[in-house]
Amino acid sequence: MTPEETAGLIGSAFPDALADAPMDTLHPAVGVVAGRWHEVALFLRDDPRLRLNLLRCLSGVDRIAEGRIELVYDLMSIRPGGEGEAWSCGVQAAVRIGVPRDGGSLPSVADVWPAAEWHEREVYDLLGVSFSGHPDLRRILCPDDWVGHPLRKDYVFPVEYHGIPGSTEFGQRSPRH
């Protein structure tokens, strides 16, 4: 199924949920409005034509010039073959959602695909996007008291963290003995 057909299926079920997203790329993704994401996600998982049961990846990309953070969900549908045969990939799809950089939020899909729970925590930790309805939204890779979100393009590396010297605009700070 092509991404255009996937977009058509979503569009026929939720006419106001589609957003603009480029399709002529090496990684075409269906644009979805942030507020409608949870319903669309349930549809993607449960619709018999799609059955996108495997959430492969959730990536956040900081589009600082456009003032938004883009979230890319990569999904796949794996289906059993005949007796003793290998499973096959039915449909592949990607979904692209833009949220504002400041105070951006979108619905969590951790209840749709439990795999999303850690992926969403990672995006929250490294890019500062909040997911409403997430069961346990806290930092996952950085320490709980870390300041800022490292994968934002305007992130400033701390000069010091609990006595550990960080770096300055002049490069690595020499350790104090």
Q: What residues make contact with another protein under the rule CB under 8 A?
A: 25-27, 53-57, 59-62, 72, 74, 78, 80-81, 85-89, 94, 113-115, 117-118, 126, 139-143, 150-151
CB of residue 118 vs another protein: minimum separation in angstroms?
A: 4
Closest to 98 (Cα-Cα) out of 123, 72, 65: 72
Please, what is the minimum distance in Å from the beta carbon of residue 13 to another protein? 22
- The Cα-based distances of 13 to 1, 7, 36, 160 in angstroms read 17, 10, 12, 51
Query: Whose Cβ is closer to another protein: residue 8's or residue 150's?
Result: 150
Taking the least distance from each CB to another protein, the nearer of 12 and 90 is: 90
Name the residue among 132, 123, 127, 86 with its Cα closest to residue 105. Answer: 132
In the complex, least distance from residue 125 CB atom to another protein, rounded to whole angstroms? 8
Query: b/e string for 100-120 if b means 16 or more Cβ within 10 A?
Result: ebeebebbbbbebbeebbebb
Question: Which CB, 14 or 118, lies closer to another protein?
Answer: 118
Cβ-based neighbour number of residue 71 at 10 Å: 26
Query: Which CB sits closer to another protein, 1 or 151?
Result: 151
